[in-house]
Every structure is written in structure tokens, then in C-alpha cells.
Amino acid sequence: DVKVTQSSRYLVKRTGEKVFLECVQDMDHENMFWYRQDPGLGLRLIYFSYDVKMKEKGDIPEGYSVSREKKERFSLILESASTNQTSMYLCASLRGRAFQETQYFGPGTRLLVL
Amino acid sequence: AQKVTQAQTEISVVEKEDVTLDCVYETRDTTYYLFWYKQPPSGELVFLIRRNSFDEQNEISGRYSWNFQKSTSSFNFTITASQVVDSAVYFCALSEQNTGGFKTIFGAGTRLFVKA
């Protein structure tokens, strides 16, 4: 069974802290994504990776960075957390380079920055 | 520019009522896929259906049905005889061939409340 896991379901951090969100998939998928979900805005793409050590900016990359050292793991980093980064963060993976494929999502991490 | 609009922010129905969730999209690509995902309170988006741009056949799966009309750029989702377990946020999404699946556009979502 397909599985995408995220390291934390809930996280509370202070402004200025460095925050790491981890995502692991067990499907050997080439592509992985980080989205943030905000009410009324749906899902917005932060970064994606199509291969190990490869990354591309999405629509809202400012304030974030990512790391993909292994195929199964994709990390989202908030270098200096700010209150406007309080959100739900969703990781997803996708097989191949096919626009018709469905993405598989993790359960999400609710991040609160105080 | 590509865009997905789900005009209904929240819908509330009583169990056993039918409910339709609207989705309107914009794209310049002639080859694309449309998706519906369900996000229950647990948070994980679950895939429901996909439809390619060349297949306008409607689809029915149990209590779920989808109506795809290219003429109006709509891909609406109907739940027949709704149940409490249908309460969730539903997302419509668009994936275009020219982005290779890397830039799926999601609508803002429609939150459905089904009351017992």
C-alpha cells in the first residue's frame, strides 16, 4: 500500500527558529512536492523535486528551502520562521513524469509559529 | 493562465440529500487532466477521480458521479444520498501536459458538512 509519511502532525515554533519538516515516501516515486494549505487559498506549491538533489521553485518559495538527499525523503526548511508561515503543510509524491498521474499525499503538518 | 475555481466555500446538507460541488477551470492547453480529491478531518488528501480532456463521458462510482463539460469548462461532482462520512473538504485540480504534472493547480476547496 502506498504511503507518504510526515514527521509531525502538529508543531509549535517561535519566530526566528529554524524549522525542519520531513517527508518520506515508500513508493520509489521520482517526484516529491511541498504544498501549504490555507483557508480560501487551496493548496499552493512551495517547491518540488524531480530527482535526488534536484529541486525547483513552486509558486511561493520565499522563506523556504528544501533538501532531497535520498530518493525517499524530501525536507522542507524554514530558515527563520515567521508568523505568516503558520499553516498546514502537505507533502506529496508522484510517479514518473506523467501529468495524468495522481499525487499521493501525506497527512499534513499543522505548524503554528508564535 | 491556468486557474481552478470552486465558488462554493462551504455547503451544509442533511443526510440523504444530494449535493453538487462545482468546479470551473481555465487552461490554454488542449491536453490536460482534471482531478477530484477528498480531504477528511484526518488531513490526508485522497484521490477520487481523474478525467482527461478528451474524455467527456460522465462517470458514476457508487453514490459519486462526475459531470465533465468542456463547453463550459466545468467538472462538477455530485454526491447522491449524502452521508455523515462524506463530510470533508473537496478539492478540484488541473494538471496540464505542458507542465508535465509538476504544476498541478488546485482550487480553493469546498467544505461539505453533512448533518445527521
Residue-wise pLDDT tens digits, A82-91 = 999 999 999 9
Q: Which amino acid is residue B30, in one-letter code?
A: T
Across the interface, do A102 and B35 touch by the CB < 8 Å criterion? yes
Q: What per-residue confidence (pLDDT) applies to A2?
A: 66
Q: What per-residue confidence (pLDDT) applies to B27?
A: 93
Give the whole-angstrom CA distance, residue B52 versus residue B49. Answer: 10
B53 to each of B13, B27, B31, how far by Cα in Å?
Answer: 31, 11, 6
Across the interface, do A56 and B102 touch by the CB < 8 Å criterion? yes
Residues of A engaging B, defined by a Cβ cutoff of 8 Å: 9, 31, 35, 40-45, 48, 50, 56, 58, 88, 90, 92, 94, 97-108, 110
Residues of B engaging A, defined by a Cβ cutoff of 8 Å: 4, 6, 9, 32-33, 35, 37, 42-47, 50, 52, 91, 95-97, 99-104, 106-109
pLDDT in tens, B15-54: 999 999 999 999 999 999 999 999 998 889 999 999 989 9
Tell me which chain A residues have a C-beta less than 8 angstroms from the C-beta of B33.
99-100
Residue B57 has pLDDT above 90, yes or no: no
pLDDT in tens, A44-71: 999 999 999 999 999 999 999 999 999 9
Instruction: Name the residue of chain A whose CA is nearest to B40's CA.
Output: A107
Residue A43 has pLDDT above 70, yes or no: yes
- How are beta strands A73-78 and A87-94 bridged, if at all? unpaired
Give residues with Cβ within 8 angstroms of A62, minimum separation 6. Answer: none
Q: What per-residue confidence (pLDDT) applies to B102?
A: 75
CA A9 to chain centre: 13
